[in-house]
Amino acid sequence: MIAARPSSFSRVIITELMIPSYANFGGKIHGGILLSLMDKVAYATASKHSGAYCVTVSVDTVDFLQPVEVGELVSLMGSVNYVGNSSMVIGIKVISENVKTGVVKHTNTCYFTMVAKNEEDRPTTVPALILENKTDVRRFIEAIFRKGFKKDYETNLNKIKKTWDKQEIASLLEKERCINQS
């Protein structure tokens, strides 16, 4: 196996025209179409870096900030932001361009965790990541923090779940738009 690869080696851009069959009843592009394209770019980036078959394990912060219209050109830029042992965090920036007006919208940025698998379908070690510039360093460090925040979130939620009582539940729900019939 190759010991390390630069981030530039695996950068991938997928550009796709948004055709009418991708639209929902409101005439905007289905979120699922964009998710599928994100998964493709994540797979292409991760498999290029690792030289292996990869699977999607986790998807973080998919927020659709602006709608995408039929006729726009959507480009998805994938780069390896972080590598663990078998896992890789792929950062994906999505932009949408109106070709007539030239207006470009940043529709979202998200993070896919992909795991490389060997012939026995077991997680396998991927090459280390060569950070070529300050942006690469920032992305790698941000991914470390994001990983930590996610772990803290899970630990805190599990702790809260074990301790909450009927009174706490009642006072929490009382501020929300729900009717508790349990």
Ligand X SMILES: CC(C)(COP(=O)(O)OP(=O)(O)OC[C@H]1O[C@@H](n2cnc3c(N)ncnc32)[C@H](O)[C@@H]1OP(=O)(O)O)[C@@H](O)C(=O)NCCC(=O)NCCS
* Contacts to ligand X by CB under 6 A: 55-58, 84-87, 113, 115, 123
* Phi, psi dihedrals of residue 77, rounded to the nearest 5°: -110, 120
Distance of CA 19 to the CA centre of its chain: 23
Phi/psi class of residue 53: alpha, beta or left (left: φ > 0; alpha: ψ in -120 to 50)?
beta
- Report, in Å, the least distance between residue 86 CB and ligand X: 4
Between 95 and 112, CB nearer to ligand X: 112
Tokens encoding 42:
């994540």
Between 150 and 159, CB nearer to ligand X: 150
Between 29 and 143, CB nearer to ligand X: 143
Q: Which residue has the CB atom at the shortest distance from ligand X? A: 84
Cα 125 from Cα 148, distance rounded (Å): 21
Tokens encoding 73:
């050109």
Between 58 and 98, CB nearer to ligand X: 58
- Report, in Å, the least distance between residue 114 CB and ligand X: 9
- Report, in Å, the least distance between residue 130 CB and ligand X: 17
- Report, in Å, the least distance between residue 75 CB and ligand X: 24
Residue 128, exposed/middle/buried by CB under 10 A (0-12, 13-18, 19+)?
exposed
